[in-house]
């Protein structure tokens, strides 16, 4: 459990606020499953099930997070690609792109 919490803390530094809330709920579900099993004296085997479900949720959310990061990087790269570094104005590539759009209309 300590390893999971420390990994969450390291990952939390890079996540968006919505992802943080989702991760909190996921860990809450896993913790609740562990508590239910301990309170029932082992009669209900919920720990492994909730950990497996929690890990599936986390893997899905991690994939969404990496997709968001990739999309942000691509959008930044597109802005850099169309902007002159020294003047901050649009460059020839952006001009050619807009001219092509105007000619197709």
Contact of 37 with 44, CB cutoff 8 Å:
yes
Report residue 14's pLDDT band, with 50, 70 and 90 as the boundaries: low
**Cα separation of 78 and 100, whole Å?**
17
pLDDT in tens, 74-90: 988 888 889 988 888 98
Percentage of residues in the chain having pLDDT higher than 70: 81
Give the mean model confidence (pLDDT) for residues 29-56: 77
Judged against a pLDDT cut of 70, whether residue 34 lies above it is answered with yes
**Nearest-angstrom CA–CA distance, 61 and 10:** 15
């Amino acid at each position: 459990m300590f390893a999971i919490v420390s990994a969450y803390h390291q990952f939390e530094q890079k996540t968006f606020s919505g992802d943080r809330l989702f991760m909190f709920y996921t860990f809450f579900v896993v913790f609740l499953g562990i508590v239910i099993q301990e309170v029932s004296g082992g009669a209900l085997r919920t720990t492994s099930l909730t950990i497996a479900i929690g890990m599936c949720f986390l893997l899905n959310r991690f994939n969404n997070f990496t997709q968001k990061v990739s999309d942000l990087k691509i959008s930044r790269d597109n802005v850099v690609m169309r902007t002159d570094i020294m003047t901050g104005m649009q460059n020839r590539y952006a001009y050619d792109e807009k001219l092509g759009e105007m000619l197709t209309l």
